[in-house]
Amino acid sequence: MRKALCVSVALLASGAANAESEAQWGYSGAKGPENWAELSPDNFACAGKNQAPINLTGFIEAELQPITFDYQKGAEQILNNGHTVQVNYEQGSSIDVDGITFDLKQFHFHAPSENHIDGESYPLEAHLVHASDEGDLAVVAVMFEEDTANEGLKKAWTKMPEQAGEERALPSSVRAEDILPENRDHYRFNGSLTTPPCTEGVRWLVMKQPLTASSEQIERFADVLHEPNNRPLQPVNARPVLQ
């Protein structure tokens, strides 16, 4: 598991934007989600029992400790890896969860949302991906409703790469903080990466308060990817969803 986590962190940080990795999996057809586990021995976890995304429901009341955010300016580049549009972040930003510091590696987007909340799907979801020094992973998820334009997205979208494999430098004004809601109350569950190799043991921290994005912002992202990039919902099985 440790080896898989380390490989996952490397892929998440780099964006895995080479042509070979692009060809290994997709969101439809023979290389779609239902076949990920069979596409490579490395993807065995995609058939696991603790996979993400899920429909968050049946909440269990718990005394969840607040997430301590320490986000700085640090966006380096925005890239289109063929599966999403991703903003890579330089060292220096982190969250603290369970007394562990997780460094922010990158954030990326899915349209429509991968996770659902009480059966509701959202037109856009952001995943802020973090890793600890030990290789453990934590993902902060933020939902977007269609309404007024989002200023944080606007700054990043000005450099939106149109073609798979394309990357562009970003101005320092692009900040992860700008795609976080003011209210940091959250749901929590144990899950996995939502893309191959589907590594499990990921702490999922889903913000309760959604943000807004304009229809133009959502459509521009969807148009660049040419198809939905949401993995279907996975069985919750025996996992608790805490709030």
| Among 205, 210, 212, 207, CA closest to 185 | 207
CA angle at residue 94 from 89 to 97, to 5 degrees? 140
Catalytic residue among 83, 108, 116, 127: 83
| Among 99, 76, 98, CA closest to 13 | 76
User: What is residue 178's DSSP assignment?
Assistant: G
Give the number of other Cβ atoms within 10 Å of residue 211's Cβ.
23
Active-site residue 83, yes or no?
yes
Distance CA 125, CA 142 (A): 6
Q: Which residues contact 197 (CB under 8 A, 6 or more apart)?
A: 4, 7, 8, 40, 42, 43, 44, 45, 46
As a whole number of angstroms, the longest Cα–Cα distance in the chain is: 45
SS3 assignment for 38-89: HHCHHHHHHHCCCCCCCEECCCECCCCCCCEEECCCCEEEEEECCCCEEEEE
Give the number of other Cβ atoms within 10 Å of residue 242's Cβ.
16
Active site residues: 83
